[in-house]
Amino acid sequence: MTRVHVALLPRDGFFCKDGRGWFTSASGRGHGIEWPWPSTILGSIRTAWGRAEEDRANTSFDPNAWLTRTAPIQLGRILALRRPHAAAWQSEHVTWPVPLDAVWFEEEPELHRLNPQPPELPTLGREDDAAREALWRPSPARSEKPVKLPRWWSNADMAAWLAGKPVPAPARPALCLVRRLQVRIGIHSEELTADGGALFSHDVVETIEPQAEWAIGVEASIPGDALPPVATLGSDARPIRIEPLPKNLFDPPDELLAAFRQGSAGLRMVVVTPACFEKGWLPDGLIQHGNEYRGRVAGLGEVILRAAFVPRPMHISGWDMAAGTPKVTARMVAPGAVYFFERVDGRPFEENEARALWLSAIGARTEEGFGYVIPGVWSPKRSNQ
């Protein structure tokens, strides 16, 4: 098996359908997601390798052969990339989902941090889990409603945020992907006229901007030495180009390592690809000990979960191309979720742990690219401090 680092460039845009059916509305519209799920990216890699293998063997694989031959292929770390046209790939082109502990108030020059603190009042939920009720909660610096942040951040902003440094308010225009509606209609083969019963539409996410283009950075383990230069992605198999990618784009930024070099009393763990945990929002390895969740996560020593800022779950499904059946829908933690930890023994988190945690995977289905996280420093503050 060879580990490759490549960029997938969907220069014709992409349509990656969500779990809703085609007829969830009277118009027969297919709804797409803003960024491909890791399982969709893995399917693209497997298809690209499999088609090239068919050409080399001068044959066509049946469904069983597809499953057998592509089963060893695994997906590793995944990055969102955005670069100026014709530029060589560099670390500054990495783009990240905005973490949930960042808020911005109108006309403020910098973002505010949602620092969790021990609870003073119970929640309005069911009181059947003492450890959940004892989790620390966000303490906003201001009482007014914050402005909605964009989904994507630059590499420089994310590195500064994880290192505990100030981050300026989002630039205008914000980093975002443009979505448009593609309308299609069937044609009667005999009359060459439109078939009104085959009229449908779906979303297309455009990846080409006037000054830049988006891509998907992928680390994958494949049989052989390389992938073909062209592949397909998404529900309508739009063509994508495959380019080699420098391996150092997957390395942690120096700014973050310098912050951990001084030791950090607490740890923030930001989810950057959908995470699949057995207990829903709670990372695998943590169990209830009285009023706390304790356990071992991502190879760390025993830690205490102090807070969890988790958005609504994502519903991940898909289509099994070999079996010709839909996949089981899974509820996963969405990118941008943030978990806050302290060590049981009180020791700080240091640089070697930050290196090990950078783009490491936790939870289930990690071989498909799910569950990747990145670390950040955190200074826990009790209510009486």
Looking at residue 139, what is its pLDDT?
80
Evaluate whether the domain defined by 95-165+252-378 bears CATH number 2.60.40.4350: yes
Residue 137 contacts residue 116 (beta carbons within 8 Å): yes
154-204 confidence digits (pLDDT tens): 999 999 999 999 998 877 667 788 888 877 777 877 777 777 667 777 788
CB 318 within 8 A of CB 37: yes
Supply the mean pLDDT for the chain.
Answer: 88
d(CA 73, CA 39): 12
Record the pTM: 0.90
Q: What is the pLDDT of residues 311-348, one digit of tens each?
A: 999 998 877 766 777 778 889 999 999 999 999 998 99
For the stretch 139-163, pLDDT in tens is 877 778 888 888 999 999 999 999 9
What would the pLDDT profile of 218-264 be if each residue is shown by its tens digit?
999 999 878 899 999 988 888 999 999 999 999 999 999 999 999 99
Tell me how far apart the alpha carbons of residues 2 and 73 are, in angstroms, rounded to a whole number: 10
Q: What are the structural domain ranges in the chain?
A: 2-93+174-250, 95-165+252-378
Please give the share of the chain, as a percent, with pLDDT higher than 70: 94
Three-class DSSP category at 372: strand
What is the model's pLDDT at position 130?
84
- The tens digit of pLDDT for each residue in 1-24 reads 899 999 999 988 888 877 776 655
The pLDDT tens digits for 270-316 are: 999 999 999 999 999 999 988 899 999 988 889 999 999 999 999 98
Summarised one tens digit per residue, pLDDT across range 347-357 is 999 999 999 99
Residue in the block written with tokens 């290196």: 355
The per-residue pLDDT for 69 is 86
Q: How far apart are CA 284 and CA 13, in angstroms?
A: 35
